[in-house]
């Protein structure tokens, strides 16, 4: 069974959603972009804190993985 890569999908953003964000900031596009970038940075920071550094580097503890046949004693 071979794994197939997932299709890349872009999030659907409607014109109404864009208008709503601009309206939230009284039509100021710079304020809207600033807030969106701030929120994006916060989400990235949260995601980075939630992911194990060992998992990212591919280093796992012996108790956290199944032993391979040749590793068994």
Q: Per residue in 45-58, pLDDT tens?
A: 888 877 766 666 66
The closest alpha carbon to 23, from 40, 35, 41, 39, belongs to: 35
Residue ranges in 1-73 assigned as alpha helix (H) = 15-24, 29-50, 53-57
Q: What is the DSSP letter of 69?
A: G
What integer pLDDT is reported at residue 68 of this predicted model? 60
What integer pLDDT is reported at residue 25 of this predicted model? 97
* % of residues, the chain, pLDDT over 90: 44
Q: Are 36 and 21 contacting, i.e. CB atoms less than 8 angstroms apart?
A: yes
- Higher-confidence residue of 62 and 57: namely 57
The model carries a pTM of 0.56
Q: Residue 58 — left, alpha, or beta (φ > 0 → left; ψ -120 to 50 → alpha)?
A: left
């Amino acid at each position: 069974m071979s794994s197939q890569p997932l299709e890349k999908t872009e999030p659907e953003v409607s014109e109404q959603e864009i208008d709503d964000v601009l309206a939230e900031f009284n039509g100021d596009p710079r304020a809207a972009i600033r807030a969106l970038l701030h929120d994006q940075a916060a989400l990235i920071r949260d995601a980075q804190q939630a992911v194990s550094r060992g998992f990212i580097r591919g280093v796992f503890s012996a108790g956290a993985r199944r032993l391979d046949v040749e590793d068994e004693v």
